[in-house]
Amino acid sequence: MCGISGIVARKTMIDSEREIRRMNDIIEHRGPDGEGIYCYQNVALGHRRLAILDLSELGKQPMHWEEKYTIVFNGEVYNYIEIREVLLKEGYSFKSESDTEVILAAYDLWGKECVTRFNGMWSFAILDKEKKVLFCSRDRFGIKPFYYTISEEEFRFGSEIKQLLEEQPLLNLPVALDFIITGIEEASDETFFKGIVKLTPGHNLTFDLAQNSYQIEAFYSLPDEGKETANGDSIPGYISLLEESVKLRMRSDVRVGTCLSGGLDSSTVAALASKNYNYQEQFYAIHAKSEEAATDESAFATLVSGHLNLNLKTVVPGYQDFESNMDEVIYTQEEPFGSPSVFMQYFVFKEARKNNCIVMLDGQGGDETLLGYERYYPALIRSLPWSKRLKALLNSKKNSRLSMLEAIKYMLYFGNYKSRLNRVKRRANFIRPEYLEHFKSEALRKVSESYSDVRKMQKMELTRSQLPHLLRYEDKNSMKHSVEARLPFIDYRVVEFALNMENEAKIYDGWTKYVLRKGMSGLLPKEIVWRKNKLGFNAPENLWLEKHAAEMEKVIRKSVIFNAISDLNQLDLNQLDKRMRWRIYNLAKWELLFNVRIA
């Protein structure tokens, strides 16, 4: 796990060594264990190292393969041992015990197709001197970031946006409006900064150094249709795959711990990981306790840790922590985010580093793959034949917080793009007419259309509307503290198996994530397995935002961007819901920290 930097000068030569060092220095937190740069003709590559596998000097980067290739790599290929065995049989030899060297040998044998054999998370660039190309790749779901800019003069890429910023960056207004009005983030490859984009997950970018051009092509997408797994086979099959995923993600030469909210997903990861933890010490778990009773899950985390004999470390962030770390967290995230809960995760990773847990497992992806949110009910019901819809509607209220009336409202509302668009526009009536009247939101349209079919909705949430922003929070918060986050639920085999399960294995008799609940019965306390409420690392945002109200109003009133897109004289912030107020404030604060101006 590391940070990467790269420059290709397209026209005039630049002081590549100076520039790549500057870019590398910006991401020192992503790799405190070493750094390296490599300059070759018009290409410069940089790397910051967080040592996880093969802690020796043999694992340092940029890493070279004979005289042909040089790589900078951020991430982990968890099945590197299995791939290495295949390569050894093909006559390859290795100097190190790192997965980085395995990537280089795999590229030498299979070319760009090598990425289809990797099980892991990655962003990397390989300078291929023989083919005169720079081959870049990002993992299937975009767990690791790859940002880039391209102009007539140069192509630049990095693990963070900060590496690519101009002195006074420009706002990407359509992205900002979507965020303020709909709350949707990460819905496209664009960022809040004009001109800075992301490489699409599951895609490769090949820069032809001879032709001075590049192309992007997909190597992975979620299957459109798959063979449904019968309910009787789905439970052992899914749990077996998930446990294998956890085992792969335990491979490390440093201490491994886990994030533990007390919900089903994080508790499952903790249970499977602690069962496979082969060291003398207790398995570490980190929990963030909310100081607000309604969002406090600490009793569940304590129950799980006692049941599994975990070494539980609990942090209790208060308002002063929230206030004093405001600039740091927003700067760390690089783009506005929709909820103060990001702060809770930030403090979890800070505590992990304090306890020398350099690798942390987490439960992201469980809800998106196993229909864990109430909003999945209407999509599920609409996917059924008419003869089964009434029964499903009645069942939906049995073991969830969703009433039948709410389920009906969800069905009528969530799949109706025009109704949703009109509603969010009414709530954002403070936006100036020249922006609001022409606002359409392609992201909201696609999300609404996906509600016609539960599989389509899952794919949307995994690729655009839900998982991507959670992965961004995870990567930024963990790497700020030089910690590697690993996500067993997002092993591509686990995801595909979950998508291909019949719906009754995911929602049954009103229970969401039914296959996981049944599979973990006996391994976890029943109070955890059959919980109806889910919170995650929820912040005490009612308390925090009430105390922060005056400061929020002051920052918003001074915002050049917000004054340009809205009429602040007609706006009473107290009349807005808390999430809307937070989004506006977050954008205004981000504007100040990054010196962003509106075109």
Active site residues: 2
CB neighbourhood size of 27 (10 A): 23
**Tokens in use for 61?**
């980067």
CB neighbourhood size of 190 (10 A): 16
- Closest by CA to 210, choosing from 16, 39, 13, 43, is 43
The structure tokens 């506005």 sit at 336
The DSSP string of 138-198 is: E-TT--S--EEEE-SSEEEEESSGGGG--SSPBB-HHHHHHHHHH---S-SSB-SBTT-EE
Residue pair 157/136 in contact (Cβ under 8 Å)? The answer is yes
CB neighbourhood size of 339 (10 A): 18
Distance CA 43, CA 40 (A): 5
400: helix, coil or strand?
coil
* Residue 479, H or E segment: helix 467-480
Residue pair 235/515 in contact (Cβ under 8 Å)? The answer is yes
Task: Quickly list H helices, 33-172.
Answer: 80-89, 99-110
Widest distance between CA atoms in the chain: 73
How does strand 63-65 pair with strand 120-128? unpaired
CB neighbourhood size of 553 (10 A): 17
